[in-house]
């Protein structure tokens, strides 16, 4: 359980104490991952299924590795070769997995609210691995873990989230999570890629990258989500890169020890240059590493139905 919930559907529903416990358990799991043998018995006898209706490399693989490292049975439904192709609905597919005894089902879907709908109708715990443009809670939690690890704290930091805010579930989850943990959040990007109601989430909003980056401790640079852009939101990739991309010249607006993050996959040369993505400022590889530890912590917590929720190694 996380708090008193059987599912992890979004950061919006979590209390700061829930987030703190997830980060604490993730630190324990990271310690486990650094040992010679990564195998733990934490999820022995449990089964974990990934059900992804959208493409993924990091999220799906890290959940599968996390489950296997903790001795769970892990399986994946490949939507392209499943009965979804014969017209089976999301709910019937999830109910089928539930009926086979899955303890945790991890769902990615293009429709906002899809994991929430499934969660109400199955016994298994559901983890939202990204629902449309709504939330990507596990990405946000691994981002928080990385910030805490690199900066020693989250409270009081200025975090600039820049790029395609409008189509980003990562932005939404991070705006909720960072503010719950006491950070100041600024978002920046072209006005066409800033949702009209974004101020209502309590963040500072800028239509220029330098203003958003000013004195930032952390930059979360977002991918241009071309697959969700039904019309031309920017004149061209070249102009987007020139006016809004993150390059070495723009880093000078941030603090000298700024941490640069990106959820991946990266469009090199569009939202970020390779010089910055591969620089000493960048924590992109650490984010990927930490994704496994954070997802181990989440599987552990959701698989437990009672007793202490704090992991020991
Ligand atoms: N950050 C992220 O969700 O990456 P994938 O799409 O590769 O899972």
**Residue 204 burial by CB count (10 A; 0-12/13-18/19+): exposed, middle or buried?**
middle
Q: Indicate the pLDDT class of residue 306, thresholds 50, 70 and 90.
A: low
> How many angstroms does the Cα of residue 106 sit away from the middle of ligand 1?
13
Structure tokens at 229: 């852009």
Q: Indicate the pLDDT class of residue 53, thresholds 50, 70 and 90.
A: very high
Residues with Cβ within 8 Å of 104's Cβ and at least 6 positions away in sequence, in order, are: 46, 47, 48, 49, 67, 124, 125, 126, 127, 299, 302, 303
Q: Indicate the pLDDT class of residue 233, thresholds 50, 70 and 90.
A: confident
| CB of residue 289 inside a 6 A radius of ligand 1 | no
Which of 58, 136, 167 has the most ligand 1 atoms within 8 A of CB, as the residue to mutate?
Answer: 58
What is the reported pLDDT for 267? 92
- Say whether the peptide bond before residue 265 is cis (omega within 30 degrees of 0): yes
Nearest protein CA to atom 5 of ligand 1, as residue: 56
| CB of residue 57 inside a 6 A radius of ligand 1 | yes
Average pLDDT of span 13-33: 97
What is the reported pLDDT for 307? 57
Torsion of CA 201, 218, 171, 12, to 10 degrees: -60
| CB of residue 288 inside a 6 A radius of ligand 1 | no
pLDDT digit string, tens, across residues 278-304? 999 999 999 999 999 999 999 999 998
Nearest protein CA to atom 6 of ligand 1, as residue: 56
What is the reported pLDDT for 288? 98
Average pLDDT of span 141-158: 98
pLDDT digit string, tens, across residues 179-202? 999 999 999 999 999 998 899 999
What is the reported pLDDT for 196? 87
Q: Phi and psi (nearest 5°) for 42?
A: -50, -35
DSSP 135: B
Percent of all residues in the chain with a pLDDT value above 90, rounded to a whole number? 85
Question: Where are any strands of DSSP class E within the chain?
Answer: 47-52, 73-78, 104-109, 125-131, 158-162, 184-188, 204-206, 218-221, 259-261
| CB of residue 56 inside a 6 A radius of ligand 1 | yes
Average pLDDT of span 265-285: 97
Mean pLDDT of the chain: 94
CA nearest to 166, candidates 210, 117, 131, 133: 133
| CB of residue 263 inside a 6 A radius of ligand 1 | yes
pLDDT digit string, tens, across residues 81-120? 899 999 999 999 999 999 999 999 999 999 999 999 999 9
What is the reported pLDDT for 130? 98
| CB of residue 40 inside a 6 A radius of ligand 1 | no
* DSSP labels, 259-282: EEE--S---BTTTB-HHHHTSTTB
> How many angstroms does the Cα of residue 56 sit away from the middle of ligand 1?
5
Nearest protein CA to atom 4 of ligand 1, as residue: 58
Checking DSSP bridges between strand 47-52 and strand 104-109, what pairing results, if any? Answer: parallel
DSSP 105: E
Average pLDDT of span 55-83: 95
Place of tokens 């970020």: 272
Q: Which atom of ligand 1 is nearest to the CA of 291?
A: 1
Average pLDDT of span 136-140: 98
> How many angstroms does the Cα of residue 308 sit away from the middle of ligand 1?
31
What is the reported pLDDT for 236? 82
Note the residue count of the chain.
313
Structure tokens at 92: 């019937």
């Amino acid at each position: 359980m996380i708090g008193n919930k059987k599912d992890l559907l979004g950061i919006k529903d979590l209390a700061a104490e829930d987030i703190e416990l997830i980060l604490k358990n993730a630190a324990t799991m990271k310690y486990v991952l650094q040992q010679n043998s990564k195998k733990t018995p934490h999820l022995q006898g449990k089964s974990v299924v990934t059900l992804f209706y959208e493409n993924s490399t990091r999220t799906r693989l890290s959940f599968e590795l996390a489950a296997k490292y903790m001795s769970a049975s892990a399986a994946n439904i490949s939507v392209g070769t499943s009965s979804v192709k014969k017209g089976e609905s999301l709910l019937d597919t999830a109910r089928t997995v539930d009926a086979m005894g899955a303890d945790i089902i991890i769902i990615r879907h293009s429709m906002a609210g899809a994991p929430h709908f499934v969660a109400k109708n199955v016994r298994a715990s559901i983890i939202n691995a990204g629902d449309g443009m709504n939330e990507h809670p596990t990405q946000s939690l691994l981002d928080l873990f990385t910030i805490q690890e690199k900066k020693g704290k989250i409270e009081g930091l200025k975090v600039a989230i820049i790029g395609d805010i409008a189509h980003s579930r990562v932005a939404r989850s991070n705006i909720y999570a960072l503010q719950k943990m006491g950070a100041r959040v600024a978002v920046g990007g072209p006005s066409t890629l800033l949702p009209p109601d974004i101020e209502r989430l309590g963040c500072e909003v800028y239509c220029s990258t330098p203003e958003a980056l000013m004195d930032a401790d952390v930059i979360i640079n977002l991918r241009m989500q071309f697959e969700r852009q039904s019309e031309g939101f920017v004149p061209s990739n070249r102009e987007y890169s020139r006016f809004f991309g993150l390059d070495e010249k723009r880093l000078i607006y941030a603090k000298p020890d700024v941490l640069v993050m990106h959820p991946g996959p990266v469009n090199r040369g569009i939202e970020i240059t390779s010089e910055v993505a591969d620089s000493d400022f960048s924590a992109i590889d650490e984010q990927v590493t930490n994704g496994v530890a954070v997802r181990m912590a989440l599987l552990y917590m959701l698989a437990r139905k009672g007793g202490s929720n704090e992991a020991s190694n």
